[in-house]
Amino acid sequence: MITKEERAKYDVVVGLEVHAQLMTESKIFSGDGNAFGSQPNTNISTISLGHPGVMPKLNKKAVELAIRMGLACNCKITRFGYFDRKNYFYPDLPKGYQMTQDKTPICVGGYVPIQGVKSQDKVTLNRIHLEEDAGKSIHVDGQPDSLIDLNRAGVPLIEIVTEPEIFSSEAAGAFLTEVRRLVRYLNVCDGNMEEGSLRCDANVSVKLKGETKLGKKVEVKNMNSIKNVMKAIDHEVQRQIHLLEKGESIVSETRTFNPDTGRTSGMRTKEELNDYRYFPEPDLSPLQVSDEWLEDIRSNMPELPSEMKERFKEQYGLNEYDASSMTDQRDLAYFFDAICGITGNYKKAANWLMGPIKSYINEHDMTFSNFPIQPAALASIIALIDEGKISYTAASQQLLPYLFENPLEDAADAAHKLNIWQESDSGSIQSIVDEILASNEDKVKQYRNGKKGLIGMFMGELMKKSKGKVDPQMANKLLRESLDAQ
C-alpha cells in the first residue's frame, strides 16, 4: 500500500463511458420487443439474428431519447449524421459488426453539473452517441459450450462519454448519481445498474502533480453500482501509484473489477489491439434532425430536476434544503408534487416524505415507484392532523403502517378502526381535566404556588386517562386555563 505522502504527489484523471439502455418499446433497428427479463431468445427476429437480406430500420423514439439527454446535458445536437459499422467477431454480435455513431455522434460536447464535491462542480462531456447493444454470452462453469441469448442484441443504447476531466472517485460518483437522476427524470433509461441497464466503464490514470501530459490509462470494466465504480477507481489509483513508486510503468490494458475483493485484475483474454475497421453504415439512410423535430422534442421534454427544484421553491415555498430533498429522486418528486396538488400544507407534506415515509421505504427496501399509498391518502392524513382529528404520533406510528397493508382504505375510516380518532370536543376534555384537578389537590396547590413544571405531570395524567385520544393542543390549553383560574 502507498503512503499518504506518495498519494499526495499524484493527480488522478478519470474519464467515464456510461452506457444507458433506452426505454423504448422496440429495438433500435427492428420491431422486436425491448424488455428485460424475457425468456432467452424470445425478443428476436430475422433482423436481430442478422439473417441474409435483412435491412435495419431506425427507431425514431431512440433518437428522440438520445436528443432529450443531449439537451439536458447542454450538448450540441448533430443535425445531419450517419451510423458507422464497428467490426469485430463475437458470438453475441449476430452481424459481426455493431452499428454505432463513430464520426457523427448525435450529441456533441456539453456538461453535467455535479453536487457535493469540493474540487469540481461539473463534468465536461465529449459526446453522447447512439448504438445497438450486443446479446449476452452465458458461460456456465464446467460446461464446454457457451449459451447465447440475443434478446439484448439490438437494444438501443446511448453512450455518454466524458472528457478525461474527472479528478477524484467522489466526482465520478457524483457524476454518475446525477446522470442516473437525469435519465430517470427524462424517462430515457430506468437507471438500474444491477440489471445492467446503466453501465459504466472507467478510464483511470495518474500523473505527477504539475505534469501536463496524461499518464497511461487503464480501462476498468464490470462495476455494477456507483459505489463499486468509486471503489474501482480508488483501487486502481492505489495500484498505479504503487507501481510508479516502485519504478515500474503502467500497462495500457483493460482490467475487470471484482466486487468481492474490491480489486481490479487484468482481463484473461489476450489484449490485442482491436482494429474495428469503422466505415459508414451503408444500409441506413443518413439521419437528419429537422428544426421541427428538434423543437418537438424540446417542447415535450419532461421537467428536469433543476427545473422542478426551482418550481418547488417558488410554487410551494420550500427552502433550498427541502426543495433539494424533494427532487433528489424522480419518483419522490412526482409523488410530492401530486400531494401538493391536493393539500395546501406543503411543508408538512415534505416533512412526511422525508420523515416517516422515507424511513418506512428504507426499512422495507422499497422505492417510490412501487410505493403503495396514493398521494391523496397522504394528503388526507395531513388534513386530519391539521384538523386535530388524529395526532401526528398516532398517524405515523399506527395509521401509516396500517395503510401500507391496506392502501385502498380511507384514512379517516382507518383512524376510526384503529381507535386513534381523538377527542377535540372541549366539553368532554374539560370533564377529564376537572376530574384530574379534583383528585390531585396538593399538586394543584404546588402549581399555583409557582411550581409550573408540574404541567407535564398533569398532561401525562390526562393522556393516560383519555388513552391518548385527546388533541394535545386543546388539552394543554384547557389544562392551563383551569390551573391558572384561581
- Catalog residues that contact other proteins under the rule CB under 8 A: 46, 49-58, 85, 87, 89, 91, 94-97, 146, 148, 275, 277-279, 282-285
Cα 146 from Cα 261, distance rounded (Å): 26
Say which residues have a Cβ less than 8 Å from residue 213's Cβ, sequence separation at least 6.
Answer: 207
Min CB(295)–other proteins separation in Å: 23
Classify the phi-psi angles of 399: left when phi > 0, otherwise alpha if psi is within -120 to 50, otherwise beta: alpha
CA proximity to 182, closest of 79, 111, 127: 111
Question: What letter represents residue 338's amino acid?
Answer: A
Q: Specify the residue for cell string 379517516.
A: 412
CA proximity to 279, closest of 23, 109, 84, 55: 84
Min CB(167)–other proteins separation in Å: 31
Cα 198 from Cα 177, distance rounded (Å): 11
Contact between residue 251 and residue 236 where contact means Cβ atoms under 8 Å apart: no
Instruction: Give percent helix, percent strand, percent coil of the chain, each to the nearest 5.
Output: 40, 20, 40
Q: List residues bridging with 146 in a β-sheet.
A: 139
- Quick one: 61 or 417, whose CB is closer to other proteins? 61
Contact between residue 171 and residue 5 where contact means Cβ atoms under 8 Å apart: no
Q: Which three cell numbers stand for residue 369?
A: 415507484
- Quick one: 146 or 359, whose CB is closer to other proteins? 146
Min CB(93)–other proteins separation in Å: 9
CA proximity to 276, closest of 456, 98, 49, 60: 98
- Quick one: 38 or 87, whose CB is closer to other proteins? 87
Cα 455 from Cα 458, distance rounded (Å): 5
- Quick one: 93 or 382, whose CB is closer to other proteins? 93
3-state secondary structure at position 183: helix
Q: List residues bridging with 166 in a β-sheet.
A: 14
Min CB(139)–other proteins separation in Å: 11
- Quick one: 94 or 110, whose CB is closer to other proteins? 94
Min CB(40)–other proteins separation in Å: 14
Min CB(104)–other proteins separation in Å: 15
- Quick one: 58 or 383, whose CB is closer to other proteins? 58
Residue 120 CA, chain-centre distance (Å), reads 21
Q: Specify the residue for cell string 376537572.
A: 434
- Quick one: 96 or 317, whose CB is closer to other proteins? 96
Classify the phi-psi angles of 37: left when phi > 0, otherwise alpha if psi is within -120 to 50, otherwise beta: left
- Quick one: 92 or 303, whose CB is closer to other proteins? 92
Min CB(168)–other proteins separation in Å: 34
The DSSP string of 200-214 is EEEEEEEEETT--S-
Cα 201 from Cα 99, distance rounded (Å): 19
Cα 464 from Cα 449, distance rounded (Å): 25
- Quick one: 48 or 228, whose CB is closer to other proteins? 48
- Quick one: 51 or 477, whose CB is closer to other proteins? 51
Min CB(212)–other proteins separation in Å: 27
CA proximity to 313, closest of 324, 304, 303, 329: 324
Min CB(87)–other proteins separation in Å: 5
Cα 78 from Cα 427, distance rounded (Å): 74
Min CB(51)–other proteins separation in Å: 7
Contact between residue 432 and residue 470 where contact means Cβ atoms under 8 Å apart: yes
Q: Specify the residue for cell string 410554487.
A: 315
- Quick one: 283 or 481, whose CB is closer to other proteins? 283
- Quick one: 249 or 288, whose CB is closer to other proteins? 288
Q: What is the DSSP-derived secondary structure letter of residue 356?
A: I
Q: Which three cell numbers stand for residue 105?
A: 455522434
Min CB(55)–other proteins separation in Å: 5
Min CB(275)–other proteins separation in Å: 5
